[in-house]
A and B are shown apart, each in its own frame.
Chain A
Amino acid sequence: MELKTPLYDVHLQENGKIVPFAGYLLPVQYPTGVIKEHLAVREDCGLFDVSHMGIITFKGKSALASLNYILTNDFTNMKTGKVRYTVMCNENGGCIDDLIVYKFADDYYFLVVNAANRHKDYQHMKENILEGTTIEDISDDIAILALQGPKSAAVISKLLPLEHIPTGNYSAIEEVYISDMKCMISTTGYTGEEGYEIYTASENAVKLWQVLRETGKEFNLIPCGLGARDTLRLEASMPLYGHEMNEEITPLEAGLDFAVKMKKEDFIGKKALLEKGEPKIKRVGLKMLDRGIMRENQNVYLNDNLIGYTTSGTHLPYLKKALAMALIDKDYSKLQTVVEVDVRGRKLKAEIIELPFYSRNK
């Protein structure tokens, strides 16, 4: 049975096209369509329901040591009110999940994980936490709204005093009040655009959505679905669990070495990553040269030799190009190499290009 987020009825009222996703019924798009929703986030702002994401808290004296042992990034010097991206590896160095970690106190961390992985993540964490750490899955108690796009700051500044708006990338304020509703707000997102994610108790979700919708009107805010969320993250070349990484792919192969601190004393998967050494595959960008659109799981060839496969791909609305990410043999991953992609039986030419495809700072 599929679960509903606290905003399910709102999505129906907004005429969202509902689909099952990661165990939840969520809107893939609203009547505006994926392209307009995507462009709204690049040019103005959009509002997403991401309440399906899982939330697990780490508390206690050894919380930091537990995180450093279970996750690949290093949280030792992290400041309170900051957020950090990380991977969680299995003993073989494969990715169990990727997630972000919020620090609210030396003994209190707040982890946001992929909805589809929530239960296996919790189980893995529970089996591996150190004595003196308690963890809790609080996903069902909390709704998350993502306000994304260059005009997000203008929207939020109408609702919060300046000192309650986090600044800088990956920062958070644990307690602010939007229309008397207690919220946590952070400068995070999954679109490659500036913006905020706002966490509140599930019972506030509908009202918070309405407040943001109303306040956002003058800034052309529109609701955005899962379709745009996926095209936006792909355009920004952000990895998606189950596509660019899984339990068989290491974070180093997926190009996530910035989130893996090999100098750290010990963590689950470190030994395997050391034994495997330099990764033999690499995540690359592909640009279609022929007419056609690459999708996920299509084979990539160089001179008729299979060198890898695409992990995500579509026609990207802002760049207006058919692009894909692929995992290929590192020896053949030089930029500008022309490869062939098997697009449903047709071998089409594509060029290896630099990632990210889109960066707002460029």
Chain B
Amino acid sequence: MFNYPKKLKYTETHEWVKKENDIYIIGISDYAQDALGDIVFVNLPEVDDEVFVQESFGDVESVKAVSDLFSPVTGVVCEVNEDLLDNPALLNDDCYANWLIKVEDVSETDEFLDADSYREFCESQG
């Protein structure tokens, strides 16, 4: 029932990652946006902030709940999707087109899952 694009990598904390040249683009998965429900607030770092593997770099809030965003990589934020700050519901509309941050100078990455493994992981979460 959820969409798991093949061209992306995923984490067990439900972020997706796409590598373009040396830049890592990070977003949240379809499973994550559905579990959160209507998203009403996104808190993101600023350009030049450092992020660290498996550490929180911001949060997403729905009407129901708050969820931390965990960084799949260690590096420096080089771009932030400002559109989300004004219109967080974009994450519900299309969580793959609407990335959160782009990270450069990446020195460490998490263990990524491919689309099939991530799908299995989500299905095992019930």
- Tell yes or no: A161 within 8 A of B by CB: no
Q: Which residues of B contact A (CB under 8 A)?
A: 37-38, 40-41, 43, 59, 61-64, 66, 85, 92
- Tell yes or no: A34 within 8 A of B by CB: yes
State whether B40 touches A315 (Cβ < 8 A): yes
Pick from A293, A295, A344: contact of B40, CB under 8 Å:
A293
- Tell yes or no: A28 within 8 A of B by CB: yes
Q: List 12 A-B contacts (CB under 8 A).
A: A34-B63, A34-B64, A38-B63, A227-B37, A227-B64, A291-B41, A293-B41, A293-B61, A295-B66, A315-B41, A317-B63, A344-B59
Contact with B along A329-352 (1 / 0, CB 8 A): 000000000000000100000000
Q: Which residues of A contact B (CB under 8 A)?
A: 28-29, 33-35, 38, 227, 231, 291-293, 295, 314-315, 317, 322, 344
On chain A, the residues within 8 Å of B59 by CB distance are 344
Other CB < 8 Å A-B pairs besides A293-B66, A317-B63, 12 of them?
A: A28-B64, A29-B37, A33-B38, A34-B38, A38-B63, A227-B63, A293-B40, A314-B63, A314-B64, A315-B63, A322-B41, A344-B59
- The distance in angstroms between the C-alpha atoms of A35 and B61, with both chains bound, is 13
- The distance in angstroms between the C-alpha atoms of A264 and B92, with both chains bound, is 54
What's the minimum C-beta distance from A155 to chain B, rounded to whole angstroms? 25
On chain A, the residues within 8 Å of B38 by CB distance are 33-35, 317
What's the minimum C-beta distance from B55 to chain A, rounded to whole angstroms? 14
What's the minimum C-beta distance from A160 to chain B, rounded to whole angstroms? 34
Pick from B62, B66, B85: contact of A344, CB under 8 Å:
B66
State whether A35 touches B63 (Cβ < 8 A): yes
A-B pairs, 10 with minimum CB distance: A315-B40, A35-B38, A34-B63, A33-B38, A293-B61, A293-B41, A34-B38, A227-B64, A314-B63, A34-B37
